[in-house]
Amino acid sequence: MIAILDWQHVGKPGRDDKGAAYDVDDDGEIDYEVELTDKYIQAAKNYLETAGHTVHILSSGWYSARHYQANEIAKSANGPVCYVACHMNAGRGNYGATFYDLRSGGGKRLARTVGSMLGKACPELRRIVVKGTSVTTWSRANTTIKGIYAGPGNISGICFEPAFMDTPEHKQLLTDEGLERIGEALAIGMLEWSSGGKIS
């Protein structure tokens, strides 16, 4: 399997976008979404590479350009390719979420599998939300993955929002230990997806 972890918000041309902002550890300093996603991305990368899989981290360009790059990687791959748009949430929710393109059967299976592993690893989450997206349904999440469907049949993508930065019950998930749990759950979910069923 090839895993493509897109460190979103970071690297947009001409923008200093750091995503959501909140003091997650009550130390008086603002923490940014991109700092937290970087930690779980690295944990997922380490887990996957230790298991013998190839990992690409994307961190520059508009999302459409990153989707094109991911699809080009998939064209030269011999097996399944996972694309994950990496985010954190804000707005005081109590859940972890995985989003997929409504047109994609592979994306739906990937979202369900990753969501299941996230729920098992992170009991701090009251529930796991798995939702299909389109230009009119969960449209903001859709912008993070919509170009992946144009790729070859071996690539599927999800938008991953594992926890809320401003929810007190999620505080433990925002520590180094919690973010490592999140990253490893993401990696295990991708591996479970890649090992079963027809990829589409």
DSSP-assigned letters across all residues of 98-123: EEEETT-HHHHHHHHHHHHHHHHH-T
Whether 80 and 194 have beta carbons less than 8 Å apart is answered as: yes
Domain extents for the chain? Answer: 2-194
First to last CA, the chain: 14
Beta bridge mates, 81: 2, 155
Helices (H), the chain: 33-50, 63-75, 105-121, 139-143, 176-194
Quick one: pLDDT at residue 196? 74
Q: What's the pTM? A: 0.96
Element (H, E) at 156: strand 155-161
* CATH superfamily of this structure's domain 2-194: Zn-dependent exopeptidases (3.40.630.40)
Contact at 8 Å (CB) between 104 and 112? Answer: no
pLDDT tens, N- to C-terminus, the chain (200 residues): 999 999 999 999 999 999 999 999 999 999 999 999 999 999 999 999 999 999 999 999 999 999 999 999 999 999 999 999 999 999 999 999 999 999 999 999 999 999 999 999 999 999 999 999 999 999 999 999 999 999 999 999 999 999 999 999 999 999 999 999 999 999 999 999 998 743 33
